[in-house]
Amino acid sequence: MRVPLVPPPASAVGRVNACCEGPLSAFINLERISKSFGTFKVVDDLDLEIAKGEFLSLLGPSGSGKTTILMMLAGFVEPSSGAITLEGKRIDHLPAHRRNMGVVFQNYALFPHMTVAENVAFPLVMRGVSKTEAAERVARAIDMVQLTHIKDRKPAQLSGGQQQRVALTRALVFEPNVVLMDEPLGALDKQLREHMQLELRELHRRLGLTIVFVTHDQGEALTMSNRIAVFNAGQIEQLASPEAIYDHPETRFVAEFIGETNMFAGKVEARDGARTKIRLDAGPMVEAYLTTEFASGAAALVSVRPERVGLSETSNAANAMPVKVLDTVYQGDHMRVRLAGSGVEMVAKVDRKTRAWAVGAEAFATFNPDECTVIAP
């Protein structure tokens, strides 16, 4: 599957990002990459273009091949077939140290016997950079992530977040072409993790870095990325902006993996531009937004996010199904309402302020055709 390279939204990246100036070309290109371990195919005929300056997340369940792809980019694992190019030049036969890629793993892997400054200096020492120049660059890099006050400490004397920052600095100090990160925030608690997400976003923006970021946390991917590649069993299910992935998932897997969704089975009736009418198996006719081609009569699923479902006393909306309130749960910033009627069940997240819905109340569940998506079953 060939997925077009789209520029990251200008709002999501800083002006230093080369990706937003001039025409886009693939900076890194994976062409028809496959990887098998024994007879087990972990990555299957993968095509992926990465733009300079973009923050690309690889998102997918455990075992879907994310780490394997990162390891092939880094040069620690050799593809079984296919080509990897960097600015048009083949790199898949180059050893890791000649690819000029910074790598950050989940468990940091700092050298315990070295100080922060020595850890950060390590890649420069390995590359034969002179002592004075290395000292200067280390000082600058450590200052950039605000670790100067702890530069003489050993890793054991640092918090998890500080260790993570040191690992990141060590991956950046030699000015790599690209930074590869494998669940770098996985070991941190929620609060620190969210703080580091913002910090990493800011660093990406400020330095115009190209980042390939592996995570299985969908919220993290939505927060951080210019584009998200959703993986399932070694293949890309969808590659698009966070907004497109969330609002218009193209497959059932993507719709269910990212966030929560209501799913109704039906058949495509009549198409009208980007919208189509679907006769649900349960009876009602609904109108929905179309991202891919469907033949009329084809079986389809309509996916609607719970926060896109409204509750109303009247039926004057494009999609309005008579339902009964089964259950309401207070969730702080919204009410979670379970509904059944018209042969379907669904969940709505509704504003607490609009109205308190009693269990057993009759209402219309409404949703905008442009805010739901038709996908293949």
Ligand X SMILES: Nc1ncnc2c1ncn2[C@@H]1O[C@H](COP(=O)(O)OP(=O)(O)OP(=O)(O)O)[C@@H](O)[C@H]1O
Q: Give the binding site for Mg ion (CB under 5 A).
A: 67
Yes or no: say if 227 and 240 are a contact pair by the CB < 8 Å rule: yes
Sequence-separated (6 or more) residues with CB below 8 Å from residue 343: 280, 281, 282, 283, 284
Amino acid at 122: F
Least separation, in Å, of the C-beta of 101 and ligand X?
17
* The two structure tokens encoding residue 105: 């793993």
Secondary structure of 11-53 in the HEC alphabet? HHCCCCCHHHCCCCCEEEEEEEEEEEECCEEEEEEEEEEEECC
Q: Give φ, ψ of 18 to 5 degrees.
A: -65, -25
Number of residues that bind ligand X (CB under 6 A): 11
Identify the burial level of 103 via C-beta atoms within 10 angstroms of its C-beta, where 0-12 means exposed, 13-18 middle and 19 or more buried: buried
Stretch that binds ligand X, among 56-64, 93-101, 245-253, 278-286 (CB under 6 A): 56-64
**Binding of ligand X by 66 (CB under 6 A):** yes
Q: Which of 7, 8, 53, 60 binds ligand X (CB under 6 A)?
A: 60
Residues in region 126-165 near ligand X by CB under 6 A: none
- Using the rule CB under 6 A, is 42 a contact of ligand X? yes
75 near ligand X, judged by CB under 6 A: no
Nearer to Mg ion, 107 or 157 (CB): 107
Specify the pairing of strand 344-350 against strand 101-104: unpaired
Among 370, 366, 313, 322, CA closest to 344: 322
- In this structure, the dihedral spanned by the alpha carbons of residues 225, 227, 230 and 231, taken in order and rounded to 10 degrees, is -100
Which of 234, 341 has the CB closer to ligand X?
A: 234
Of the ranges 58-66, 88-96, 128-136, 366-374, which one interacts with ligand X (CB under 6 A)?
Answer: 58-66
Beta strands, E only, the chain: 26-37, 40-51, 55-59, 81-86, 89-90, 101-104, 178-182, 211-215, 227-232, 235-240, 262-272, 275-280, 285-290, 299-304, 310-312, 320-330, 335-341, 344-350, 362-366, 372-375
Check: CB of residue 162 under 8 Å from CB of residue 169. Answer: no
Query: Nearest approach, Cβ of 234 to ligand X (angstroms)?
Result: 7
The nearest distance, CB 327 to Mg ion, in angstroms, is: 37
Partner that binds at residue 65, options Mg ion, ligand X, none, CB closer than 5 to 8 Å by kind: ligand X
Position 67 contacts ligand X (CB under 6 A): yes
Is residue 216 within the footprint of ligand X (CB under 6 A)? yes
Q: Which residue, 37 or 111, is less far from ligand X as judged by CB?
A: 37
Q: Is 243 helix (H, G, I), strand (E, B) or coil?
A: helix
Q: If contact means CB under 5 to 8 A according to the sort of partner, which of Mg ion, ligand X, none does residue 155 touch?
A: none
Cβ 49 to Mg ion, closest distance in Å?
Answer: 22
Please pick, from the candidates 9, 63, 219, 322, the single residue that binds ligand X as defined by CB under 6 A: 63
Residues 6+ apart with CB under 8 A from 319: 286, 287, 288, 366, 367, 368, 369, 372
Rounded Cα gap, residues 248 and 199, in angstroms: 28
Pick the binder of ligand X from 68, 164, 366, 373 (CB under 6 A): 68
> Could you say whether residue 65 binds ligand X (CB under 6 A)?
yes
Q: Given candidates 62, 132, 314, 316, which one binds ligand X under the rule CB under 6 A? A: 62
Is 70:180 a contact under the CB 8 Å cutoff? yes
Shortest approach of ligand X to residue 55 CB, angstroms? Answer: 19
Task: Candidates 61-69, 130-138, 171-179, 218-226: pick the segment binding ligand X (CB under 6 A).
Answer: 61-69
39 binds, among ligand X, Mg ion, none (CB under 5 to 8 A by kind): none
Specify the residue, 144 or 187, whose C-beta has the smaller distance to Mg ion.
Answer: 187
Residue 191 interacting entry, from Mg ion, ligand X, none, C-beta within 5 to 8 Å by type: none
62 binds, among Mg ion, ligand X, none (CB under 5 to 8 A by kind): ligand X
Question: Any contact of residue 218 with ligand X (CB under 6 A)?
Answer: no
Interface contacts to ligand X, rule CB under 6 A: 37, 42, 60, 62-68, 216
